[in-house]
Amino acid sequence: MSEAKPPARAPMTLASVLTFACCYLPYSALNTSLAVQVPNYFARHIGLGLTVGGIFGLIRLIDIPLDPLLGLLMDRTRTPIGRYRPWMIVGAPVLMLAIYMMYEAPVGVSGGYLLIWLLVMYMGMSFLLLAANAWAAALATSYTQRSRIFGAMQGLGTLGSMAILVIPIITAQALHRTDAQGIQAVGWFLVCMAPLAIGLATIRTPEPLGKVQESHVSLSDYANLLAHPNVLRIIAADFFIIMGPAWMSALYLFFFTDSRGFSTSAANGLLVIYITAGLFGAPATAWLANRINKHWALAITAVAYSVMLIVIYLSPKASFAIAAPAMFLAGGLAAGSVVMIRSLTADIGDEIRLEKGHHQIGLLYALTSGTTKAAGALAVTFTFWVLGVVGYNPSEHAVNGVAQIRGLELAYAIGPIVFVMIGGACFLGYKLSAERHSEIRRQLDARDALHEERAIVQRVSGPPGEVTVTNP
């Protein structure tokens, strides 16, 4: 039998990439709102105070084990419409229900109410994020194509994040609504956007089906994954790279209003600039990664992001003109870091598939999804705990002294820099370069082609025991 030739897969067109990337719009928008708006909304308007931080931390103890189970189920899923498509379709109504209950919560509800609906919301986000990441990895198999598709997802997701930050500004300035009513308007926007964006992506995007039988993965595979050095790198890097911006986001409105002297609308305006930068930062980092390798691009973004945080911290109070450029650069760098983490995860998934002989990308993305959500929630828990230690009061109309504001400022500046720098350092000594990944893909494609050729031969020759007569 002659050597099998790897099957050729044409690169996705820009229109196809952007269509699929629409699925990231609701996730990115909701994730930004959960990081910046929801803790502040429940602490100040709903009246839960610093208890919110403890609830966000507690939800992780309940929710994190869900992602490994979902990853296992996704890798075992076989349906006529694909492996990942059904999970994204199911995620839409789950998200819509949780969003409505969270953003329309009555004033004075208990912490149990927040706990329950936050859990449902994170479950819907898991459906969406795990399926989207694994589906993207299946659509784009090359080193450079993955930077492109994950860059598009991050960049397009930025539009959703921008929208949820602009909505409160419009409701406050044009419609003269309260800050709380602005957040409720964000909720209705998310409820409407989720089915439209997810529907477009799932209807218009084909889902490639793997050629290798992969149904035998089990929970024990998670332990085997954690023994892989590059898996440990990626989950550690994912946690710390996400933890830095999430820490900043949890303190953002407190810091920019009480320390920097900005109004809530002006602070939201700066955050719009920060998020908008992702439209440029994500593709720019993808471009850089395809020239110097992804792990070096990640290290550069981590260092530069930390420098921008120092600039923001040292900038004069209430100076929009000085803060805006620094926020733009910081936002672009943060978005680029996330693109690199997602793309590096897909590359490591290929390495593991070559070694183990079966597909485990769903499991791998489940691990990184768990660390991503853990970082986001623990950032709220730890930052609110720090606020309690320094005596800062987050309630509406509260007056904080010089010592409390100083504690807020130090917490805002130190935490993100430490975490992001640790995340970048996780890839020191990393060996999975573009050249190494190209060789891995060549071997995987050849093996898939051989598997397909054997399957064709078996279908032609008939089942075992059947005699096929050929003419001499």
The residue among 298 and 155 whose pLDDT is bigger is 298
Mean pLDDT of the chain: 84
Which pLDDT does position 212 carry in this prediction? 41
Instruction: Find out whether 57 and 381 touch, Cβ atoms under 8 Å.
Output: yes
Q: Which two tokens stand for residue 275?
A: 């998020």
Q: What is the mean pLDDT of residues 323-339?
A: 91
The yes-or-no verdict on residue 469 having pLDDT over 50 is no
The yes-or-no verdict on residue 214 having pLDDT over 80 is no
Q: Which two tokens stand for residue 182?
A: 């602005």
The yes-or-no verdict on residue 86 having pLDDT over 70 is yes
Q: Please give the single-letter amino acid code of residue 160.
A: G
pLDDT range class, residue 7, cuts 50, 70, 90: very low
pTM greater than 0.85 (yes/no): no
pLDDT range class, residue 50, cuts 50, 70, 90: confident
Which pLDDT does position 462 carry in this prediction? 58
Q: Please report the domains of the chain, with CATH numbers, ordered by start residue.
A: 18-206+217-454 (1.20.1250.20)
**Which region among 67-81, 313-327, 453-467 has the lowest average model confidence (pLDDT)?**
453-467
Highest mean pLDDT among 93-102, 159-168, 253-262, 394-403: 93-102
Burial of 399: CB neighbours in 10 Å, binned 0-12, 13-18, 19+? exposed
Closest CA to 375 of 274, 245, 271: 245
Per-residue pLDDT reduced to its tens digit, 353-380: 888 777 777 778 778 877 887 887 788 8
Which pLDDT does position 120 carry in this prediction? 94
Which pLDDT does position 5 carry in this prediction? 44
Which pLDDT does position 250 carry in this prediction? 84
The residue among 452 and 33 whose pLDDT is bigger is 33
Which pLDDT does position 217 carry in this prediction? 53
The yes-or-no verdict on residue 216 having pLDDT over 70 is no
The yes-or-no verdict on residue 72 having pLDDT over 60 is yes
Q: In whole angstroms, give the CA distance from residue 41 to residue 187.
A: 12
The yes-or-no verdict on residue 246 having pLDDT over 80 is yes
Q: Please give the single-letter amino acid code of residue 264.
A: T
Residues above pLDDT 70, as percent of the chain = 90
**Which region among 68-82, 136-150, 311-325, 448-462 has the lowest average model confidence (pLDDT)?**
448-462
CB atoms within 10 A of CB 58: 16
The residue among 356 and 95 whose pLDDT is bigger is 95
Residues in the chain: 472
